[in-house]
Structure 1
């Protein structure tokens, strides 16, 4: 049974990436994330709002593109999915699916990273 005195506050994602510099630049330039750590750590922290993504340099690992449908790593709820889509479209983000209203009550779109990680951004349909 879960301990009711324990509260989970937020989450961070950890992604292995083959080229840390390329991935960090993409998160900063195309997705609007801030980078927090020095370049020489072998890791980079990308954050935007309450989303934190730790990118770890892993040049010999299996690429996300090689794992097919299992390369989704996050679903992010936002307050204005269409405005975020337009921002990403104009900044050169890799858009896999434009915003669509889904039967489960969300309007959402899909973005990929240069490495093949996929993430979805969604907003509840009023």
Structure 2
């Protein structure tokens, strides 16, 4: 049996405000569930992120809450730069893991990375299971 995809679930204080932020980034959603609003799934292309509302603060023991692989990191960075986002980093190039990437920080403090594999034929984060070290 194969696993098909993953969806990070982010704890947020205000689901409606968070959904609006991700809509600015080009994501869409089919509605917000609950009264008061407590859950929403935003999507762009094949990427889904769940927004889970509640009273608990967003976790702070993380660097990246999600890492999204993209086709053209330079073009996406330019798209996001035009939005005049408060927390958008510059592109980090030549990372040792083979990706050029940048971060966006959402209203709840979640750091979302957007990165491009820069080595031909490589896919950072996806290794051949046959090459995994044995115990």
Q: What is the match of residue 6 of structure 2?
A: 11
Q: What is the match of residue 34 of structure 1?
A: 28
Whose radius of gyration is greater, 1 or 2? Answer: 2
Structure 1 segments (4+ residues) deviating >6 Å: none
**Structural RMSD (CA):** 1.7
5+ residue gaps, structure 1, are 1-5
Return the TM-score normalized by structure 2: 0.77
Q: How far apart are residue 37 of structure 1 and its match?
A: 1.9
Would you say 1:113 and 2:106 are equivalent positions?
A: yes
Partner Cα distance (2:113, 2:16) in 1: 23
Would you say 1:57 and 2:53 are equivalent positions?
A: yes
Given that 1:110 and 1:121 are in contact with CA atoms closer than 8 Å, whether structure 2 keeps it comes out as yes
| Structure that is richer in strand per residue | 1
**Number of residues of Structure 1 aligned to a counterpart in Structure 2:** 116
Given that 2:12 and 2:57 are in contact with CA atoms closer than 8 Å, whether structure 1 keeps it comes out as no
5+ residue gaps, structure 2, are 120-135
